[in-house]
């Protein structure tokens, strides 16, 4: 089991100082969030994780509150990542439709340009073909590459939303 170690001297280090929300719903400090996500990403997605909090004895009694705050923070981040992913997929489907339509129009236009005299027609025909493939690049990137990265991010956030916490005095 992999462990992510986090040292705290006082509770305020865990939370975003600009968040005026009451304690349990308070947002995590950006540095703490980034550290936890980065550290979780260093381990395999199937490897179990535990967050080990090191701190003074006065914080041990608040472990449940800290665990609730960390879990709530990453559950919210996971839900937001899911919404972004669904929005990207919607945009990607529309973009693939637009790119395919552009490719079809360009192929028809290239067929007609075959009748135009050689130097000008060939240059215009090749330019249109490049335009068609460029129009398909973003949909391919969105559906193919971005979704893979999004899957990894969502998996990490989901894992952190339920990660067990342990407290060690010191």
Domain-wise residue ranges, the chain: 2-80+162-169, 88-153
pLDDT confidence of residue 57: 93
**For the residues 40-44, what does the mean pLDDT come to?**
91
- d(C-alpha 66, C-alpha 59), whole Å: 9
For residue 167, CA distances in Å to 1, 4, 7, 53 come to 16, 12, 10, 5
144, pLDDT greater than 80: yes
Contacts of 57 (CB under 8 A, 6+ apart): 169
97, pLDDT greater than 90: yes
- d(C-alpha 52, C-alpha 55), whole Å: 10
**For the residues 95-103, what does the mean pLDDT come to?**
92
CA dihedral 41, 46, 47, 49 (to 10 degrees): 70
pTM of the model: 0.81
Please write the tens of the pLDDT for every residue from 58-94. 999 999 999 999 999 999 999 999 999 999 999 999 9
In the block, tokens 């899957």 appear at: 151
Distance, C-alpha 12 to centroid of its chain: 27
Taking alpha carbons only, the member of 131, 124, 75, 144 closest to residue 99 is: 131
In the block, tokens 């559950």 appear at: 75
Average pLDDT for the chain? 90
Give me the helix-helix angle, 30-41 and 147-160, nearest 10°: 110
pLDDT confidence of residue 13: 87
Residues in the chain: 170
Joined together, the tokens standing for residue 165 give: 């916490």
């Amino acid at each position: 089991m992999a462990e992510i170690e986090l040292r705290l001297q006082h509770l305020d280090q865990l939370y975003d100082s600009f968040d005026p929300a009451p304690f349990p719903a308070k947002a995590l400090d950006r540095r703490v969030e980034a550290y936890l996500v980065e550290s979780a990403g260093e381990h395999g997605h199937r490897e179990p994780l535990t967050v080990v909090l090191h701190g003074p004895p006065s914080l041990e009694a608040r472990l449940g509150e800290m665990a609730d705050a960390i879990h709530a923070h990453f559950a919210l981040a996971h839900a937001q990542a899911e919404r972004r992913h669904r929005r990207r997929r919607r945009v990607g489907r529309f973009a693939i439709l637009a790119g395919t339509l552009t490719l079809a129009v360009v192929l028809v236009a290239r067929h007609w340009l075959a009748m135009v005299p050689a130097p000008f027609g060939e240059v215009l025909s090749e330019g249109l073909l490049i335009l068609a493939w460029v129009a398909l690049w973003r949909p391919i990137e969105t559906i193919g590459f971005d979704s893979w990265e999004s899957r990894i991010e969502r998996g990490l956030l989901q894992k952190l939303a339920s990660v067990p916490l342990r407290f060690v005095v010191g």
